[in-house]
A and B are shown apart, each in its own frame.
Chain A
Amino acid sequence: MPITVNLDVMMAKRKMSLSELSEKVDLTLANLSILKTGKAKAIRFSTLEAICRVLECQPGDLLEYDDGNKK
């Protein structure tokens, strides 16, 4: 999929662990792991909103489009 989830990058910038984020956004570790590893097929706006609020970032900081044709 050409959409990359940069959740691990943002978590590292904010020095936040997955379990801490899981508690703060009220998502299971399994679901966050699906998102972090790029296995997710879709993301709810409510989830995106919660993650952006906790990590103090924009949706664009978490999601990146790459069609693989970059030089």
Chain B
Amino acid sequence: MKQLKTRTEQILATMPILAWVAFAAYVIETGAVLYSYTISFVDPEAAKDVYRGLNLYRLSKINFWYYTQAISLIAGLAVSKAVVAWLVIRALTKFRLENPFTMDMVVRLEKISYAAFGTWVLAMVSNGHLAWMMKETGELQGNWISGEFIFIIALVYVMSQIFRRGVEIQTEHELTV
């Protein structure tokens, strides 16, 4: 039992670090994409490597408006993922294993599920837009979130509702004399 508790504590201690890494990665991605886009106004060659080898040079040459749309969606998705990571960090740092069922944690979990759902919607819009743009230009490569991501979001939401019930049970227990 003690070993199990220790392992859980270790996981809980490690998770905020991972969430911070993810948050930093998404912030860097957003910054890099927007930086490349800004530079591409002056030097169109910057569109050849927007972020980690993403080449949108030909797209920018075909239609700069399409290029702007693609950049907006990539940056928007990165910001959205960063927001989710930030909410996860906040929830994990506030989480206390000794007293996990608090209304504060319920609200945080609900916020995470809503933000993740927003990210999923944005990813689906991006996927649709990507497909349309590929048809229009025969150009563009993408690495977007898959639709199955929605199941994880649903799971987080269900967890938040379980926590809500947990808070109710705990309150009832505390008010039993």
Interface flags for A1-31 (1: CB within 8 Å of B; 0: not) read: 0000000000000000000000000010001
> Is B171 on the interface with A (CB-CB < 8 A)?
yes
Is residue A53 contacting chain B, with contact meaning CB distance below 8 A? no
Q: Give the interface size class of chain A.
A: 10 to 19
Bitwise, B62-80 to A at CB < 8 A (1) or not (0) is 0000000000000000000
Chain B interface bracket (under 10, 10 to 19, 20 to 34, 35 or more): under 10
Chain B contacts for A41, CB-based, 8 A? 171-172, 175-176
CA distance A27 to B172 in the complex (A): 18
Taking CB atoms and an 8 Å cut-off, the chain A residues in 17-67 that contact chain B are 27, 31-32, 34-35, 39-44, 47
**Pairwise interchain contact B175-A39, C-beta atoms closer than 8 A:** yes
Q: State in angstroms the CA–CA spacing of A59 and B151 once bound together.
A: 51
Interface string of B36-67 (1 = CB under 8 A from A): 00000000000000000000000000000000
User: Measured between alpha carbons, how far is A39 from B177 in the docked complex, in Å?
Assistant: 10
Q: Whole-angstrom distance from the CB of B91 to the nearest CB of chain A?
A: 28
- How close is A45's CB to chain B, nearest CB, in angstroms? 12
Chain B residues positioned under 8 Å from A34 (CB to CB): 175, 177
A29 to B73, CA, bound (A): 60
User: Counting chain A CB atoms within 10 Å of each CB, which of B172, B175, B176, B177 scores highest?
Assistant: B177
Contacts of A40 in B (CB 8 A): 175-177
For chain B, residues 119 to 177, give those with C-beta under 8 angstroms from any C-beta of chain A: 171-172, 175-177
Smallest CB–CB gap between A18 and chain B, Å?
A: 13
State the CA gap A65–B177 with chains docked (Å): 19
Q: Which of B171, B172, B177 contacts A31 (CB 8 A)?
A: B177
Smallest beta-carbon distance A31→chain B, Å: 4
Binding site for B on A (CB under 8 A): 27, 31-32, 34-35, 39-44, 47
Not counting A41-B175, A42-B175, A43-B176, a sample of 14 additional A-B residue pairs whose C-beta atoms are within 8 angstroms of each other reads: A31-B177, A34-B175, A35-B177, A39-B175, A40-B175, A40-B176, A40-B177, A41-B172, A41-B176, A42-B172, A42-B177, A43-B177, A44-B176, A44-B177
Q: List 23 A-B contacts (CB under 8 A).
A: A27-B177, A31-B177, A32-B177, A34-B175, A34-B177, A35-B177, A39-B175, A40-B175, A40-B176, A40-B177, A41-B171, A41-B172, A41-B175, A41-B176, A42-B172, A42-B175, A42-B176, A42-B177, A43-B176, A43-B177, A44-B176, A44-B177, A47-B177
